[in-house]
């Protein structure tokens, strides 16, 4: 028997998303990490969304959203804004569904992400230096060209797509005790929490953000949506100062805790994942493991089964070299 919550996204929405995504994305692996298990004195499993198509979980939500559009909406074309992972997920989904797409990216976006987005299919429009700049330009394109806007996280269909990760976790490890999830705008954790809590509400869902940027954590503690950003973070894929309206509603209801990690914690996690687990991840993808290695989750994880989400692996090799050189391994 499933638990039903009065929230914007339901288990039925996520199960429908799973059907849409069948054969279109990978069911990513979730092996046990011997190194992290020994360090944390628990059973730690890594959910490899860095090995997903386009190198991150974002294609799940993007494809679910795009495939749910009416034929008339698809003919109008779409526009999205993103610094990288959502852009690539939208672009590949457009190619798979035959939809004309435009993606607005900040001028500072990594060249590798811009190139990948273009290669998948979408036209890239470089504009501005921040997310506010890119979303303003995307809004102009909607008004001028009549395209459909595809939100990066605060959308029911996007959240449902990300929630399919939760279903996969339970398929592979039904008796999991904890799931540790990186947070930016909140689409990933909102979807996973909805899927898992609807099936087994005793499983803990714990979010992780950077000390430098943690709009969701600040909102979670305040009980209302608020902003937080002091400076940039290595977890640039989670550099979101203000959570979404829908995502915050779900997180406030279903998430058990949110912890913060330092930039040094993130660096050490990235290096540990490379050296000990042979996993290359971007900063955002290393957040959950950073929380595990920091010791801040010991009360939850010791002697228990925990899944750590590796949300993405889209990072320039030059950046990897720089980060590994900064850490005394």
Looking up tokens 């290393």, which residue turns up?
A: 286
Which of 203, 228, 208, 230 lies closest to 218 in space, CA to CA? Answer: 228
Contact 15, 167 (CB under 8 A): yes
Strand partners, 291: none
Distances (CA, A) of 325 to 68, 111, 232: 45, 22, 20
d(C-alpha 128, C-alpha 108), whole Å: 8
Return d(Cα 179, Cα 310) in angstroms, integer. 11
Beta strands in 54-100 (DSSP E): 78-81
Helices (H) and strands (E) in the chain, counts: 15, 9
User: Can you tell me the distance from the alpha carbon of 68 to that of 99, in angstroms, rounded to the nearest whole number?
Assistant: 12
Catalytic residues: 58, 311
Instruction: State the sign of the Cα–Cα–Cα–Cα dihedral 92, 95, 98, 100.
Output: positive
Phi, psi angles (nearest 5°) of residue 24 = -105, -30
> Which regions of 165-304 does DSSP assign to beta strands (E)?
178-182, 204-210, 257-261
């Amino acid at each position: 028997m499933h638990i039903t919550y009065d929230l914007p996204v339901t288990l039925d929405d996520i199960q429908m998303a799973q059907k849409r995504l069948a054969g279109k994305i990978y069911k990513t692996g979730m092996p046990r990490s011997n190194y992290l298990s020994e360090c944390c004195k628990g059973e730690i499993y890594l959910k490899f969304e860095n090995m997903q198509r386009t190198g991150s979980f974002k294609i799940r939500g993007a494809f679910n959203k795009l495939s749910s559009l009416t034929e008339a909406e698809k003919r109008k074309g779409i526009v999205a804004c993103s610094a990288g992972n959502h852009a690539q997920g939208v672009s590949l989904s457009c190619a798979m569904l035959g939809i004309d797409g435009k993606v607005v990216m900040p001028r500072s976006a990594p060249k590798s992400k811009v190139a990948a987005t273009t290669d998948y299919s979408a036209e890239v429009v470089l504009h501005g230096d921040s997310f506010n700049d890119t979303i303003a330009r995307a809004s102009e394109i909607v008004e001028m060209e009549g395209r459909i806007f595809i939100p990066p996280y605060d959308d029911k269909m996007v959240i449902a797509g990300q929630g399919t990760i939760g279903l996969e976790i339970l398929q592979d490890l039904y008796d999991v005790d904890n799931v540790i999830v990186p947070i930016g705008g909140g689409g990933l954790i909102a979807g996973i929490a909805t899927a898992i809590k609807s099936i087994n509400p005793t499983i803990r869902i714990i979010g992780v953000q950077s000390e430098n940027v943690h709009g969701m954590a600040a909102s979670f503690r305040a009980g209302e949506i608020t902003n937080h950003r002091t400076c940039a973070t290595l977890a640039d894929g989670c550099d979101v100062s203000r959570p979404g309206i829908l995502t915050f509603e779900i997180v406030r209801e279903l998430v058990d805790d949110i912890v913060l990690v330092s930039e040094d914690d993130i660096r050490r996690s990235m290096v540990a994942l490379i050296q000990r687990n042979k996993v290359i991840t971007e900063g955002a993808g290393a957040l959950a493991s950073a929380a595990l290695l920091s010791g801040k989750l010991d009360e939850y994880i010791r002697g228990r089964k925990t899944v750590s989400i590796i949300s993405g692996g889209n990072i320039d090799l030059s950046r990897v070299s720089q980060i590994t050189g900064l850490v005394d391994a």
